[in-house]
Amino acid sequence: MQTTLDADTTPAPAHLANHPTHWRNRGYAHHWKNRDEDFEASKFGMWLFLTTEVLLFAGIFCGYAVFRMLYPDAWSNGSHYLDWRFGAANTVVLLISSWTVASAVRCAQLNKQKWLKINLIITLLCAVLFVFIKLKFEYYVKLGDGKAPGTFFTYAFAENPHEVLWWSLYYVGTGIHALHVLIGASLLGWVLYRSWKYQAYGPTEYLMVENSALYWHLVDLVWIFLFPLLYLIH
Amino acid sequence: MSNHDTHAEEHAHGHPVVSWQIQLGVLLALLFFTFATVLFYNAESWVEHAFEIHLPGWVNIVGAMSIATVKAILVCMFFMGLKYDKALNTFAMLFCLFCVGLFLGFSMIDLDTRDRVEPWRKAEASLGGTGKSLDSPPIDARFDANPSPSVSTGGLSIVEFRRQQKLEEKGSEEAFWSYYYKKHAEHQHSADINNYFAKLGYDHHVELPTANKAVPRHGLTPGLFAAVDPKEAAHDKSADDHSDDSDH
């Protein structure tokens, strides 16, 4: 298997050669034995954080399961109100963005500065597209119909008193997920900025790319489960 | 730069780099499984309508969730790199999933055994978990979440309350429904969906709430609220009456 040792060895451009933020000039904290230990420990920290994120969404999934068992009719109605095509479109958007962000990590590992930036830009465009589809075709239309959570619910044609609960769960689940999309996009935007300005990431210094990518993949993972639960299961 | 030149061992090995062929292959597999889960959903709806049968509910759930699990494993192994990482990262995530399993599992066990009321606690069995019902509230007061009288739903569920509001606003049942059809005709995609369903060979109009076509089903604990809530009782009863001709 190819390793980061096989990276492209193109030297830094003259104006960045001595810049402390350029990846070649980055050291590691003195309490680590070597660069690898620093990297692995930080990455493990990120995985621990991701487990807490999984537990956050587990609460929502558990609420979904409990209410679905108690009120299967309302849940069946709820999923029929949603159009699977928008859910599927957003799934494809997130999968592609997950691929480009994985490619971005690969490009940082191999010192492909140009493609690192291109991959990050495509990922950010996917994030914008995801939020756009969510707001324009889903939230906007549904809130316009009065299909809102809790006491904001004004839809006059509901069939089941527990449909309000479905909408609350729908907005909390997709809303917290969309918040994660925005946070992930901000992290990747920060990576793009530093990469653009300082070539801050390369074969020996790509932890921030790796961890932001892990966060982005988690956003994708959650949607992989939210999509069938909300749109396909009836 | 100078401080890590003394550590020669770090130059002995680099981090593994996943090849672009594997990454592209995983993306294509993920897109294929997305297509498969949507196809499965549509095929299932089509089979139910074409042959006028009702597949058991678990077919839908097991199909969708197992495909989602395969997709999640692909993302974790290749995109998140667990396959190439130290086992510790995988262990942390698996332990977390074990805890999620406990969380979901015990919630399900609780729901599944709610209707088992042992004799020794039978006297205290009561509605819901809020303890409100111990004071024997008026029927449906549990829907009336807002104590302020100016916005009270008058003991109606919010769904019924909003329907009454709209009926009063429109004046008659007829005006109410014509408003409904006009409103839903505005959705540009509804025509497309109807054409699509017509192509599949069954009439399924999205202007009507598809909710009407839901399969009548019961919760795990049918009749749990029946004793205190006539509406639930009536709902259970009418669902039983229609169970023979449940298709349309």
The verdict on B35 and B98 lying in the same domain is yes
The verdict on B157 and B71 lying in the same domain is no
The verdict on B104 and B132 lying in the same domain is no
- Residue pairs between chains A and B whose CB atoms are closer than 8 Å: 226
**Residue A22, both tokens:** 């350029």
Class of domain A57-232: mainly alpha
3-state secondary structure of B54: coil
Confidence (pLDDT) at B13 = 62
Question: What's the domain count of chain B?
Answer: 2
Q: Does any domain span residue B6?
A: no
Q: Name the residue with tokens 């039983």.
A: B240
Q: What is the ipTM of this complex?
A: 0.94
Q: Name the residue with tokens 């009065």.
A: A146
Parse chain A into domains and list their residue ranges: 57-232
Alpha-carbon span A37 to A230, nearest angstrom: 41
| Cross-chain residue pair A164–B158, CB shorter than 8 Å | yes
User: Which residues constitute the domain of residue B144?
Assistant: 127-171
CB-side neighbour CA atoms (13 Å) of A87: 25
The verdict on B24 and B104 lying in the same domain is yes
> Percent of chain A, pLDDT > 90?
72
Confidence (pLDDT) at B246 = 41
Lowest mean pLDDT among A77-86, A97-106, B140-149: B140-149
Inter-residue contact B204 to B212 (CB < 8 Å): no
Q: Name the residue with tokens 């619910």.
A: A153
| Cross-chain residue pair A70–B219, CB shorter than 8 Å | yes
Inter-residue contact A33 to A40 (CB < 8 Å): no
Q: Does any domain span residue B225?
A: no
DSSP state for residue B138 in the 8-state scheme: P
pTM higher than 0.80, yes or no? no
CA nearest B103: which of A66, A208, A129? Answer: A66
| Cross-chain residue pair A5–B14, CB shorter than 8 Å | yes
Select the more confidently predicted residue: A102 or B204: A102
Q: Does any domain span residue B36?
A: yes
**Mean pLDDT per 10-residue segment, chain B (248 residues):** 42 78 96 96 87 84 94 96 94 96 92 66 51 47 50 74 86 79 57 52 48 42 49 53 45
Q: Name the residue with tokens 């020794």.
A: B120
**Residue A209, both tokens:** 């790319």
Alpha-carbon span A138 to A136, nearest angstrom: 6
Q: Does any domain span residue B182?
A: no
Picking from B112, B147, B163, the residue at the C-terminal end of a domain is B112
What are the phi and psi torsion angles at A205 (to 5°)?
A: -150, 80
Confidence (pLDDT) at B206 = 47
Q: Does any domain span residue B177?
A: no
The A residues from 159 to 198 touching B (CB cutoff 8 Å) are 159-161, 163-164
CA nearest A73: which of B247, B235, B228? Answer: B235
Alpha-carbon span B184 to B192, nearest angstrom: 13
Picking from B67, B85, B112, the residue at the C-terminal end of a domain is B112
Looking at the partner chain, which of A43, A48, A76 has a beta carbon nearest the beta carbon of B215? A76
Confidence (pLDDT) at B179 = 77
Q: Does any domain span residue B167?
A: yes
Picking from B44, B78, B112, the residue at the C-terminal end of a domain is B112
pLDDT digits (tens, 9 = 90+) for A160-203: 888 899 999 999 999 999 999 999 999 999 999 999 999 999 99
SS3 content of chain A, % helix, strand, coil (to 5): 75, 0, 20
